[in-house]
Chains A and B, each alone.
Chain A
Amino acid sequence: MKHAHIPGVLVALAASVAMIGCGKKEEPKAAAPAPAPAAAPAPAPKPEIVVKIGHVAPLTGPIAHLGKDNENGARLAVDDANAKKLEIDGKIVKFELLGEDDQADPKTGTVVAQKLVDAKVAGVVGHLNSGTTIPASAIYNQAGLPQISPSATNPKYTQQGFNTTFRVMANDIQQGSVVGTYAVKDMGAKKVAIIDDRTAYGQGLADEVEKAAKAAGATIVAREFTTDKATDFKAILTKIKAKNPDVIFLGGMDAVGGPMLKQIKELGIKAKFTTGDGGCSPELIKLAGAASEGVICTQAGLPVDKLPNGQKFVEDFTKKYGQIQIYSPYSYDAVMVLVDAMKRANSVDPVKYLPEVGKTAYDGVTGKVEFDEKGDIKNGAITVFVIQEGKLVTLKSEGGTAAAAAAPAAAPAAAPEAKK
């Protein structure tokens, strides 16, 4: 199991902590990637406090692979934050991740949320699905805990009037309009067929794409549906084939997109295939094989590997946990946003640092993170990719600002054609 790597890392970390704790002068920074700001040769070791951060995602069930991915992203963030030996309110902070499984079940979601509240976590990253994120948000809100979802895209999540709900991922409306417009304007589609998987995510995204494509002047020739558990799409694809569209859009995950692409090929459909972030993953390429060639897809945020922080993230993550699925960069950023807010508030008390979360301006691995008054990411960037020779190749980015050059000199090429 991928878990097995963690103990080693922890041991290394513990060792480095021990080394510093002993106050030896033999380069205490050796194991830490970033220089610890205050680990100067202080004679008395600083007091340490443990800050728990909750993370919730489904670790069992059909999308467990995404849940694990999210958790790993958060774990990496916690490890990185610990390596920096942050000092808040005169104490060295040691972050601890409490990872919970909500089974993608709303009921379990609330129990787990309560469990995290009981465990006195300082903040929560999660949940993965909108269906669990929304009922849990009421519990976090009551406890006054900031909650940052890395992947719940249902607009309603932040529209409940809670001051504790945030998301670091563009919502469906933002993404859908980019895909829809791109299909019509850049790909020149006149007839568009839209399929969604009848999940909150797929349905929401597909509706927005439909609106945007219509607004851009295309006709929707077919609106078909499947489920997130289906593997046979030939019936709906046959129907779509008869309508002869230029572009097919799928609102759904990679597990649906992969086999669907193969069946599109088998049926001899010539239309181009586009999909949103749920299908914009290496997993789609793996599942569809050669049939994924030429697929156009979008991801929220700027392309991770083009950002200065992003490259390091990709490297570290793949080394520790293997391939990135989809949302781990976002859960990484979500943890870092919490840490950043604590730093600015100089407190780990949710009451004190919650207002700071709203004022976040953080250069994350997915771009600049800023929240609007509802807690949605401001001006979230959307990047369009094309799959070429089994790789996701960036076509262009819309909206958003690249992480402003921080201390390390950011290469100007890091922001590819950013329009704003």
Chain B
Amino acid sequence: MDTLLQQLINGLTLGAVYALVALGYTMVYGIIGLINFAHGEVVMIGTMVAFTVIVSLAGSGMPPLLILSVGLLIAVVACMVLGWGLERVAYRPLRHAPRLTPLITAIGMSIVLQNVAMIIWGRNYITFPPMIDKRIYEVGGASFTNVQVAIVVLAALVMIGLTYLVQRTRMGMAMRATAQNQHVALLMGVDIDRVIAMAFIIGSALGALAGCMVGSYYEIAHYQMGFMLGLKAFTAAVLGGIGNMAGAMAGGLLLGIIEALGAGYIGDLTGNFLGSHYQDIFAFMVLIIVLMFRPSGLFGERTGDRA
């Protein structure tokens, strides 16, 4: 039983990170119907920037928590600028191009960002200096750290904040309007360009936050870390129904838990025919099964094809 609890805790932490990254995908997709393949790389850049700031401040005698916050802040700002830049340079000129065109630019941007990061931060894995004293708590035979608690709490706060932003503010209303129908929103006086740029900026900020979480959780960063993370988060977004914010959060958490339980129990479930090497298959299998019965994801609405 304590194993199950432990696996749930593992999955929850992982899921919270997935959910934050998935929100970045879903915000952009919900508004302009574009899979921003470079989002994973934005997360990576966020981690790297935070790392650089933290390392350069580490010897300054500032309190660790302050250093961490400064690193986080600078990373978030850097990624906001990056997200805005991405939209301006790579996506805005292609808004009326065939649907697959921006997908290729996104892939191109993701290659560019990876290699730029490699030139700046090197090929080696870099270690995050542990700024917080890691404390390990034990509850009912399962253990977790204060970093894990911080990740889950922070993710929850951000999601609440984001829901407020989208549901209660003028900007949020403009976003929802644009998502429903760009042309009509334009006629209603919504500044479409600004709304789309905002979606990228907010998404990237969430990505930076997720990046910092990943960095301080695993204490490791690498210029290619964004790819797998992005892929998983994208899967999570689709699982929940891409374009739907609640869906992204649920999808992220679900995927994290599926992965943890999958790796933990797949062997027992299949009489050891399948082992934890099929962990990634498990996630995709669930995705395929869900989509077979709900072709628009768990929370997605049936919408017309955008093709």
Which A residues are closer than 8 A to B by beta carbons? 60-62, 64-65, 68, 198, 223-227, 229-232, 234-236, 238-239, 241-242, 254-255, 258-259, 262, 266-268, 283, 286-287, 289
CA distance in complex: A286, B124 (Å): 11
Q: Which residue of B lies closest to A239 (CB)?
A: B264
Contact residues in A for B7 (Cβ distance below 8 Å): 235, 238-239
CB distance from A172 to the nearest CB of B (A): 18
Question: B224, A225: Cβ atoms under 8 Å?
Answer: no
A145 CB to nearest chain B CB (Å): 28
Chain B hits for A229, CB < 8 A? 224, 228
- B259 proximity list for chain A (CB < 8 A): 235
Contacts of A239 in B (CB 8 A): 3, 7, 263-264, 267, 276
**Interface assignment of B275: CB less than 8 Å from any CB of chain A:** yes
**Interface of chain B, helix or strand or loop or mixed?**
helix
Can you pick out 14 interface pairs between chain A and chain B where the beta carbons lie within 8 Å of each other? A223-B275, A224-B263, A224-B275, A226-B276, A231-B218, A234-B10, A238-B7, A239-B276, A255-B220, A259-B219, A267-B143, A268-B143, A287-B219, A289-B127
Q: Mark B222-233, 1 if CB is under 8 A from A, else 0.
A: 101100100000
State whether A235 touches B125 (Cβ < 8 A): no
Main secondary structure of the interface of A (DSSP, over half): helix
Chain B residue nearest in CB terms to A66: B123
A175 to B259, CA, bound (A): 32
The distance from the CB of A217 to the nearest CB of chain B, in whole angstroms, is 22
* Contact (Cβ within 8 A) A234 B219: no
Task: Tell me if B136 and A235 are in contact (CB < 8 A).
Answer: no
Is B224 within 8 A of A236, CB to CB? Answer: no
Cα–Cα, bound, A231→B18 (Å) = 13
Contact A262 B219 (CB under 8 A): yes
A223 to B273, CA, bound (A): 12
11 A-B pairs besides A238-B260, A255-B222 with CB distance below 8 A are A65-B122, A65-B123, A65-B125, A198-B277, A230-B228, A234-B13, A235-B7, A235-B264, A239-B3, A239-B264, A266-B143
> B180-209: which residues lie under 8 A (CB-CB) from chain A?
none
* A235-B260, A238-B7 given; A255·B125 CB < 8 A: yes
Whether A287 pairs with B220 at a CB distance below 8 angstroms is: yes
**In the complex, residue of chain A having the shortest beta-carbon distance to the beta carbon of B134:** A266
Residue count of chain B within 8 Å CB distance of chain A? 41
B115, B123, B260: residue with the most chain A Cβ atoms closer than 10 Å: B123
**B123 to A238, Cβ gap below 8 A?**
no
CA–CA, A230 and B224, complex, Å: 11
CB of B26 within 8 Å of the partner chain = no
Residues of A contacting B279 with CB < 8 Å? 225-226, 235
Q: How far is the CA of A255 from the CA of B38 in the complex (A)?
A: 24
Cα distance A62–B118 when bound, in Å? 10
Nearest CB to that of B277 among chain A residues? Answer: A225
The residue that B125 contacts in the complex, of A267, A268, A283, with Cβ under 8 A, is A283
By a CB distance below 8 angstroms, the chain B residues around A232 are: 10, 14, 218
- Shortest Cβ distance from B130 into A: residue: A289
Query: Which residue of A is nearest B268, CB measured?
Result: A239
Residue of A nearest to B229 (CB): A231
On whether the beta carbons of B125 and A258 are closer than 8 Å, the reply is yes
Q: Contact check, B125 vs A224: say whether CB atoms are below 8 A apart.
A: no
Do residues B224 and A268 form an inter-chain contact, with CB atoms below 8 A? no
Supposing A229-B228, A235-B276, A283-B125 touch, asked if A242 and B3 sit within 8 A by C-beta, the answer is: yes
Interface string of B105-135 (1 = CB under 8 A from A): 0000000000100100011110100100010
Interface residues in B136-176 by Cβ distance below 8 A to A read 136, 138, 143-145
Residue from B130, B134, B219 having most chain A Cβ neighbours under 10 A: B219
Could you tell me the distance in whole angstroms from the C-beta of A54 to the nearest C-beta in chain B?
A: 21
Of the candidates B124, B134, B280, the one having the most CB atoms from chain A within 10 angstroms of its own CB is B124
Report if B300 contacts A (CB, 8 A): no
Which chain A residue has the least Cβ–Cβ distance from B260?
A235
Q: Tell whether B211 is near chain A: CB-to-CB under 8 Å.
A: no
Task: Please name all residues of chain A whose beta carbon is closer than 8 Å to the beta carbon of B228 when the two chains form the complex.
Answer: 229-230
The 9 closest A-B pairs by CB, nearest first: A225-B277, A235-B263, A234-B10, A64-B123, A235-B260, A65-B124, A65-B123, A238-B6, A231-B218
B71 at the interface (CB under 8 A from A): no
Question: Across the two chains, which residue of chain B brings its CB closest to A235?
Answer: B263
Check B276 against A225 for contact (C-beta < 8 Å): yes
Q: A62-B222, A223-B275, A238-B264 are in contact. Are A287 and B127 (CB under 8 A)?
A: yes
Cα A287 to Cα B215 in complex, Å, equals: 12
User: What residues of chain A lie closer than 8 Å to B261, measured between beta carbons?
Assistant: 235
B40 at the interface (CB under 8 A from A): no
- For B6, the closest partner residue in chain A by CB is A238
A62 touches B224 (CB 8 A): yes
A residues near B243, Cβ cutoff 8 Å: none
- Contact indicator A268/B136 (Cβ below 8 Å): yes
Rounded to whole angstroms, the CA-CA distance of A231 and B222 in the bound complex is 11
Smallest Cβ distance from A99 to chain B, in angstroms? Answer: 15
Closest to B5 in A: A238
**Is B220 a contact of A224 with CB atoms below 8 Å?**
no
- Chain B residue nearest to A265 (CB atoms) is B136
Q: How far is the CA of A224 from the CA of B263 in the complex (A)?
A: 9
In the complex, whether B11 has a CB less than 8 A from a CB of chain A is yes
Q: Nearest chain-A residue to B144 (Cβ)? A: A266
Find chain A residues with CB under 8 A from B115 CB: 60
**B:209-256 near A, CB below 8 Å:** 214, 218-220, 222, 224-225, 228
**Considering only CB atoms, which chain B residue lies closest to A63 in the complex?**
B123
